[in-house]
Amino acid sequence: MTRPFEGITIIDVTHVLAGPFAAYQLAVLGANVIKVEHPLECDQSRETGADRDLNRRKMGTGFMTQGSNKRSITLDLRQERGREILKQLVKNADVMVENYRPGAFPALGIGYEDMKKINPRLIYCSMTAFGQDGPRGNQTAYDHAIQALSGVMAATGTPEVNPIKVGTPVIDYATGTMGAFAIASALFQREKTGKGQYIDSSMLDVALMMQASHITGYMYSGKAPKPTGNRHHQASSTCYDTKDGLLMLAASNRRQHKRLFETLGHPEMGDKDYEYREAHFEEEAAVIREALKQKSAQEWEDYFQAHHVPAGRVRPMDQALKDPQLEARKILHRHARVPGADKPVTVPMCAFKFAHGGPSIETPPPQFGEHNEEVLQSLGYTKADIEALRADGVI
């Protein structure tokens, strides 16, 4: 069964996390993705990750996370011949994605206005920290800086210890996911209009979208979100100590609230509205707190879930990845062999399933410049041409 983006070619001129992740999400759905890196300055994610030996080989886990199903070439875009090769690739491509400083690519003659003359149907996506315009348009940032600027950090932590950044680069991956959605939308639009599109994507914009309900609430009431740690607005949706660890309760709606107190032997306390529950937080929490001390976190998780009360044991990564649900969902892919790695590599693939023609991985993350000859020969370059380009540092 054909996957959604088979037949679509994407030129991926991105680095670090957000941009490569956007292209990766389309690659696992069938797109032909050609990753472009500078011959002397690889994507910095190749040199970052959990294993230093892999980092030195330019196959860091940061890169391998989002490198599957891609081909890798090197081009020095500061050289005219490098830009000419990029333009040849773009001429027959559907999408180009870049995440460099605003103005950098137009200054080199490879911005959207330049490329659409070559390929009017091109979808050109620029992913930056703050977008292409506005007073911050020429500034740069990474995930943690955007967390600080956007209000995410200020709303994270406890009343005593804050602000705190989120423990994973959520803004980067959310920006990548939003970027893939924008590209998919532009491709769908092109099917109707026949015209290409320019996408201006901003990490700050994405960070704000991730706080949508907080923003609406603040703009209406003037009340800014405050860090509450593991405590939610209602006692039935809060984290508690058990006999051997922490359990997060998430009995949010009224029916779940009712079932929670029925399972704890206090049916008279259930079936209350949100306002009542917020006003009686301490009263409800005292009952829950005392009850949960009697069993282990796993016992309570099993017990509550059996009674349709949302709850989850707080687990470290090693335990979370042993959950049999992951095997059932097939969202992880295990590469038995990756050139440059000494053992199998497991990577996340996609956060959804299709009944047919869904996400899949066929090829491992590529080594730096692994496909130079293959791609250049497809453009008509001879082996002698390629050696000359290599000798001059173009590739």
Catalytic amino acids?
Answer: 172
Paired strand residues for 345: 335
Alpha helices for 223-380 (secondary structure H): 254-263, 274-279, 281-292, 297-306, 317-320, 324-329, 372-378
- The closest alpha carbon to 34, from 88, 109, 108, belongs to 88
Instruction: From 233, 229, 232, select the one nearest 275 (Cα to Cα).
Output: 233
Contacts 24+ apart (CB under 8 A), 338-345: 338/59, 338/64, 338/364, 338/365, 339/59, 339/364, 339/367, 339/370, 340/54, 340/57, 340/58, 340/59, 340/367, 341/54, 341/59, 341/64, 342/53, 345/61, 345/64
d(CA 92, CA 119): 7
For CA atoms 303, 306, 309, 310, give the dihedral sign.
positive
Taking CA 156 as the corner, what is the angle to CA 205 and CA 178, rounded to the nearest 5 degrees? 25
Interacting residues of 304 by C-beta distance below 8 A, sequence separation 6+ = 249, 260, 263, 310, 311
**Token pair 């670090």: residue:** 16
**What is the rounded distance in angstroms from the CA atom of residue 379 to the CA atom of residue 88?**
7
How far apart CA 85 and CA 88 sit, in angstroms, is 5
Q: Which amino acid would we find at residue 18?
A: A
**Alpha-carbon span 272 to 280, nearest angstrom:** 10
Token digits for 135?
């007073």
Which residue type sits at 83?
Answer: R
| Bridge partner residues of 36 (DSSP) | 73
Instruction: Say whether 377 sits in a helix, a strand or coil.
Output: helix
